[in-house]
Amino acid sequence: MKASLVLGRLFGIEIGIHISWLFIFVFLTWSLAVGYFPQDGVLAGQTALVYWILGAISSLSLFLAVLAHELGHSIVAQRNGIPVKNITLFIFGGASNISREAASPGAEFRMAVAGPLVSFGLSAVFFTAFFSLGQATNALSAVLIYLAQVNLILGVFNMLPGFPLDGGRVFRAAVWKLTRDETKATRIAAGAGQAIAYMFIFGGIALAFIVGISGLWLALIGWFLASAASASYQKSVVSESLSGTSVGTVMNAAIITAGPDLSVEQAMALMLRHSQRALPVIGDGYFLGMLTLSDLKHLDRKRWDSEKISSIITPAASLRTLKRGDDLTLVMEIMHETGYNQLPVLDNGAFLGLVSRADLLNYLNIKLELKP
Ligand SMILES: [Zn+2]
């Protein structure tokens, strides 16, 4: 999930909102202002302006509550040595972009449980504040009781035991701890995630016949959960399969390289002949950089014959490079982050080979086929 608008940084983590969040903000403000606050027993008898202001305040507070929940996950992740790139708020809540999976069931448990604990804590604070007002019916108490309930729901919903919800991660950590088999734990927790997702979908559709269109909202959340469950499952299987294997195992050392004085025309011919999408450039035994097809896009075809490749390659300093001993999960992270299709492997500045997406896929295919 890419943020459309970056708000700033907290604890070194970039905080952003996705465009879909604006829809939920408007929708929520509207439904609170028109449907929720004017009800008898909530805050009847106010002007429309008051309702709209309270609606907007409550929606913004909900945004802060979701952010606090996500920060709970992210801060515990950082404490466990796992970098967190950003937090993005979107239509169904928030998502922390945690760079890799926890290495142990204990770390997984602590990371997963931190978010709901923040929500339950906030709920307790708002309930306490509400009751300390002596249950008066005014604007402040109406907002407080709303926030108390909404944080409680946020905590309870996220603790449902279906992966990738927080409760599903807690469940996965428990199965992982018991069976010592991470893949099996992920499979079981993701199965529970699918089951819960389908309960939401069918429950939501059934509810739509009883209470009207708002039941479909539940079905929509279920549909989102179902796709998140299968995507997260695939992602964990991939990263579990790659984890523990070093770059040296899959690296392709039989790569044609070129010197910096080659012309672009000659380099192109070389790449075509050897079906290479990238050409590592070596000078005096050192890796200077890479020529890729995208470097060629900016060069006029007429100059291919006269231009040396050294003038258009992406220099080593601006490339992400690997070491022979790096873990394949790191390769996956870097490719995901940068969009590069191949990465050079170096040893003290000397070129050893390339790792491409295709190399990773081949390795995965073999590994998954060999699995019982
Ligand atoms: Zn959470």
3-state secondary structure 107-147: HHHHHHHHHHHHHHHHHHHHHHHHHHCCCCCCHHHHHHHHH
pLDDT in tens, 340-357: 888 999 998 889 999 998
Q: Given 242, 273, 305, which residue is the final one in a domain? A: 242
Contact status, residue 243 vs residue 236, Cβ threshold 8 Å: no
Domain shared by 310 and 191, yes or no: no
User: How many other CB atoms sit within 10 Å of the CB of residue 192?
Assistant: 21
Torsion sign, CA atoms 214, 220, 225, 226 = positive
What range defines the domain where residue 260 resides? 247-370
Tell whether omega for the bond before 260 is within 30 degrees of 0, i.e. cis: no
- For ligand 1, the distance from its centroid to the CA atom of residue 62, given in whole angstroms, is 14
Looking at residue 164, what is its pLDDT? Answer: 84
Q: Mean pLDDT lowest for which of 39-53, 149-163, 177-191, 317-331?
A: 39-53
Residue located via tokens 């929708």: 27
Residues linked to residue 286 through DSSP beta bridges, in sequence order: 283
CA-nearest of 54, 53, 30, 24 to 42 is 54
Residues 107 and 213 in one domain: yes
Total number of domains in the chain = 2
Query: What's the full length of the chain, in residues?
Result: 372
DSSP state of 75: H
Give 36's strand partners. Answer: none
Q: What is the pLDDT of residue 124?
A: 96
Distance 68 CA to ligand 1 centre (A): 10
Same domain, 47 and 182: yes
Residue 311 alpha carbon to ligand 1 centre in Å: 48
Q: What is the pLDDT of residue 151?
A: 93
Indicate left, alpha or beta for 71 from its phi (over 0: left) and psi (-120 to 50: alpha). Answer: alpha
Residue 2 Cα to ligand 1 middle (Å): 18
pLDDT interval class at 293 (50, 70, 90) = confident
Last residue of a domain, one of 220, 242, 264: 242
Last residue of a domain, one of 242, 260, 285: 242
Tell me the pLDDT band of 92, cut-offs 50, 70 and 90: low
Q: What's residue 69's pLDDT?
A: 93
Query: What does the pLDDT read at residue 9?
Result: 86
**Is the pLDDT assigned to residue 135 strictly greater than 70?**
no
∠ CA 66-75-322 to the nearest 5 degrees?
Answer: 120
User: Higher confidence at residue 311 or residue 93?
Assistant: 311
Could you tell me the distance, in angstroms and rounded to a whole number, from the CA of residue 316 to the centre of ligand 1?
39
Looking at the fold, whether 115 and 238 belong to one and the same domain comes out as yes
pLDDT per residue over 231-270, tens digit each?
A: 888 887 888 788 888 999 899 988 889 888 888 888 888 8
Domain shared by 140 and 153, yes or no: yes
Across the range 143-170, mean pLDDT stands at 90
Residues 167 and 294 in one domain: no
Higher pLDDT, 188 or 298: 188
Q: What is the CATH number of the domain that holds 335?
A: 3.10.580.10
Give the pLDDT band of residue 2 (cuts 50, 70, 90).
low
Q: Which residues are catalytic, by number?
A: 70
Confidence check: pLDDT of 45 > 80: no
Task: Tell me the C-alpha distance between 185 and 111, whole Å.
Answer: 16
Comparing 77-91, 105-119, 176-190, the range with the smallest average pLDDT is 77-91
Q: Does residue 229 sit in the same domain as residue 257?
A: no
207 and 114 assigned to the same domain: yes
Q: State the Cα torsion 236-182-252-271 to the nearest 10°.
A: -10
Whole-number average pLDDT of the chain: 86
Check whether residue 234 and residue 265 sit in a common domain. no
Same domain flag for 25 and 39: yes
- Looking at the structure, tell me whether residues 334 and 258 fall in a common domain: yes
The label of the residue with tokens 């804590």 reads 121
Query: What proportion of the chain, given as a percentage, has pLDDT over 90?
Result: 25
What pLDDT is recorded for position 3? 61
| Dist. CA 164 → ligand 1 center (Å) | 9
Give the Å distance between the CA of 113 and the centre of ligand 1: 8
Summarize pLDDT for 74-91 with one digit per residue, the tens: 999 989 888 888 888 877
pLDDT at position 136 is 65
* Residue 223 shares a structural domain with residue 314: no
Instruction: Say how many Å lie between the CA of residue 226 and the centre of ligand 1.
Output: 16
Is 0.85 surpassed by the pTM of this model? no
Both tokens assigned to 103: 């290495």
Tell me the mean pLDDT in the region 312-319. 87
